[in-house]
Amino acid sequence: MAWRNVSKNLISFIASVKFAIPLLIAIAAASIIGSLIPQGRNVKLASDIPEWIASLNRYLQLNDIFHSWWYIILLGLLGFSLLTVAIKRFPRVYQQRGRGAALGILLAHLGILTILGGMVYSGFSGFRYYTRLVEGDVTVLPPLPFVIKLDEFKLKYYPEETFKHWGPDARFPEKQESMITLFHHGNPFMKAAIAPGQPIIAKGVTLLPAHKDIGWVFDLVITDLNGREKVVPIWPWAPPLISFYGGQQRYMAHSLNYDWGSARENEGNSPRATTEIFKLQSDGTVDSMGFATDKEPLQVGAFTMAIESIRPYTGIHVYVRPEKPFFITGFIALLAGLVFTFYRRTSQSSGNSTGLQ
C-alpha cells in the first residue's frame, strides 16, 4: 500500500507543472550555452586553460552540448513527463469532452514526443565534424562510411578593381568549387562538385564546404651542406616544429602567401609563394630568419629551405542529422492535433450557441 502511494505521488509530480517548468528552463539554458560555445566533437580548447576547466569540459561535454549525456537525459525526462501527462489526461478528456477532443490532445502530445524522440536519437547517432580537404589527398573520418578525395579545388577572385577602394591588397573570392570523389571500400561511388551553400548528401551524410577557410599547404624541403634532404609538410592550421641538432635549434614556418591568379594562369618570373621562417629562442622569443619563396630558397645557417608541392585546401562541415524525419512527422502530428482540437471546440461552441437560440 505504501509503495502504491509513493508511485502515485511520484507519477503525479512527474506529470505536474512543478516538474516540467524547471526541466524546460534547464533545457533552454543549456541551448543558450550551446549557441554561445563553439560546438563540435573535434573542437579543441586552448592549450593554456587550467586543467580543472579541461576536466569539466570533458565530463560535461560543453563543446558538444546537444549530444552530451546530461542534455539527452533532460530531453528524456521531459518526454517522459509529457507521456505521463497524456496518459493521465486522455481518459478524463475522453469522458468529459468526447472522442474527438481526446484524439486531438493525443495527437498533439504524440507530436511533441516524436520531436523529443528525434532529438534524443540524434544525440546518440548524429554527429558533426569539421575538417579540411587538401587537393590530391584522401581524407578519412572514422564515423563516415566512406573516404573523401579532393580532386580539384577551383577558386575565382573578383577583379582587382572591384575592391580597390579598400586598398591595393583587398581581394575576395567570387566563386569557389570543390571537385570531390567519394570512395567506399576502395571503390569510387560518387563524384560531385560542392560549394558553400551547395552541399551534397551521400549515404545520409551531409558535406558542406566552408566559405572562408581556404588556403595552401606545402612542403618545406630542407637541405644540409652534404645535399641530404628532409621534407616537412606544412599545414597552416597545425604548423610543425622543425628541430635540428637534437632540439637545440628550432624553427617554424607558419603560413603561405600565395598569388593564386598568377599561379593558375601563367608561370612568370616573380615569386608566387612566400613563407616566413621563424627561429624559436630558448627564452621563448621568436626571431624572423627571412622569407623563402618558390623561386628562391632561404639559407638558414647550414641549411637551405625551399618551398615545393603547393596545394590548395578548403574547410568542410561533415554532419549527420537523423532527427529530420522525426521533426517532420512530429510537426505534422502536433499541427493535426491542434487543428483537430480547435475545430472540435469551435464546433461545440457553435452547437451550444444554436441550442441556446
Residues in the chain: 357
Q: Which residues of 279-307 are buried (b: 16+ CB within 10 A; e: fewer)?
A: bbeeeeeeeebeebbbeebbebeebbbbb
The domain segmentation of the chain, as residue ranges, is 2-126+322-356, 128-215+316-320, 216-311
Tell me, what DSSP letter sits at residue 262?
H
Residues sharing a CB contact under 8 Å with residue 58, sequence separation 6 or more, in sequence order: none
The whole-number average pLDDT for the span 153-162 is: 78
Percent of the chain with pLDDT over 90: 19
The whole-number average pLDDT for the span 119-137 is: 86
The whole-number average pLDDT for the span 281-300 is: 87
Is 149 within 8 Å of 180 (Cβ atoms)?
yes
d(CA 248, CA 233): 21
Is 123 within 8 Å of 71 (Cβ atoms)?
yes
d(CA 128, CA 130): 7
Give me the chain's average pLDDT, please.
81
Q: So what's the pLDDT on residue 183?
A: 95
Q: Which of 26-35, 191-200, 344-353 shows the lowest per-residue confidence on average (mean pLDDT)?
A: 344-353
Kindly report the CA angle at 317 between 175 and 196, in degrees rounded to 5? 20
The whole-number average pLDDT for the span 176-191 is: 93
Q: Dihedral angle at the C-alpha atoms of 308, 237, 311, 292, nearest 10 degrees? A: -30
Q: So what's the pLDDT on residue 264?
A: 46
Residues sharing a CB contact under 8 Å with residue 228, sequence separation 6 or more, in sequence order: none
Q: So what's the pLDDT on residue 58?
A: 77
Q: So what's the pLDDT on residue 349?
A: 57
The whole-number average pLDDT for the span 24-37 is: 82
Q: Dihedral angle at the C-alpha atoms of 26, 31, 32, 38, nearest 10 degrees? A: 140
Give the DSSP letter string of 187-211: EEEEEEEEBTTB-EEETTEEEEEEE
The whole-number average pLDDT for the span 30-42 is: 71
Q: Is the pLDDT reported for residue 265 higher than 50? A: no
Kindly report the CA angle at 154 between 137 and 298, in degrees rounded to 5? 65
CA-to-CA dists, residue 190 to 138, 181, 182, 266, 318, angstroms: 14, 6, 5, 32, 16
Higher pLDDT, 129 or 5: 129
The whole-number average pLDDT for the span 157-170 is: 68
Q: So what's the pLDDT on residue 195?
A: 92
Q: So what's the pLDDT on residue 262?
A: 47
Q: So what's the pLDDT on residue 41?
A: 54
pTM for the complete prediction? 0.69
Other residues' Cβ atoms within 10 Å of the Cβ of residue 7: 10
Q: Which of 161-165, 178-182, 273-277, 286-290 shows the lowest per-residue confidence on average (mean pLDDT)?
A: 161-165
pLDDT tens for each residue of 80-107: 888 888 888 888 877 877 777 788 888 8
Q: So what's the pLDDT on residue 302?
A: 85
Q: So what's the pLDDT on residue 142?
A: 83
Q: Is the pLDDT reported for residue 357 higher than 60? A: no
Residues sharing a CB contact under 8 Å with residue 256, sequence separation 6 or more, in sequence order: 215, 216, 217, 218, 234, 236, 273, 274, 275, 307, 310
Is 238 within 8 Å of 42 (Cβ atoms)?
no
Q: Is the pLDDT reported for residue 356 higher than 50? A: no
Q: So what's the pLDDT on residue 240?
A: 87
Q: Is the pLDDT reported for residue 254 higher than 60? A: yes
pLDDT tens for each residue of 220-240: 999 988 888 999 999 888 888
Q: So what's the pLDDT on residue 263?
A: 45
pLDDT tens for each residue of 196-212: 989 999 998 999 998 88
Q: So what's the pLDDT on residue 267?
A: 47
Please name the amino acid found at residue 131.
T
Helical residues (DSSP H) of the chain, grouped into ranges: 2-14, 17-36, 51-60, 69-97, 99-125, 260-265, 324-356
pLDDT band at 190 (very low <50, low <70, confident <90, very high): very high
d(CA 193, CA 137): 16
Q: Dihedral angle at the C-alpha atoms of 340, 341, 343, 346, nearest 10 degrees? A: 170
